[in-house]
């Protein structure tokens, strides 16, 4: 921030001003702090952060609140499914080999 408030604690209006400027530079019409919070937490989860860690970062009391908060991309969900399926198949192959 510039001007007489420089170096002072950031106010809600000051944060709104920063977001408006960033939104304009990015060419986005309707992005606010809450939407950015959703995006940040979703990206943390997609990057592999444990759901419980995302919950703690968000300050949610309930893990269900955190689950509702996230907007996971379909390709991320598909990749997680395939990763889990490969682990299941690998453990089944090991069990089959031991049984022989």
pLDDT-based confidence at 56, cuts 50/70/90?
very high
Full domain range(s) for residue 55: 12-99
CA angle (37, 51, 76) in 5-degree steps: 80
Predicted pLDDT at 52: 94
**What's the CA gap between 46 and 77, in Å, rounded?**
9
H or E segment and range at residue 49: none
Structure token pair of residue 14:
């000051």
Does 57 fall in a domain? Answer: yes
Does 4 fall in a domain? Answer: no
Number of domains the chain is built from: 1
Predicted pLDDT at 80: 82
Predicted pLDDT at 55: 94
């Amino acid at each position: 921030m510039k001007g007489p408030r420089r170096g002072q604690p950031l106010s809600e209006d000051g944060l709104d001003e920063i977001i408006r400027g960033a939104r304009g530079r990015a060419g986005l019409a309707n992005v606010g702090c809450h939407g950015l919070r959703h995006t940040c937490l979703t990206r943390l989860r997609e990057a592999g952060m444990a759901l419980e860690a995302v919950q703690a970062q968000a300050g949610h009391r309930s893990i269900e609140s955190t689950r509702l908060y996230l907007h996971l991309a379909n390709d991320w969900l598909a990749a997680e499914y395939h990763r889990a399926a490969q682990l299941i198949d690998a453990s089944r192959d090991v069990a089959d080999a031991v049984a022989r």
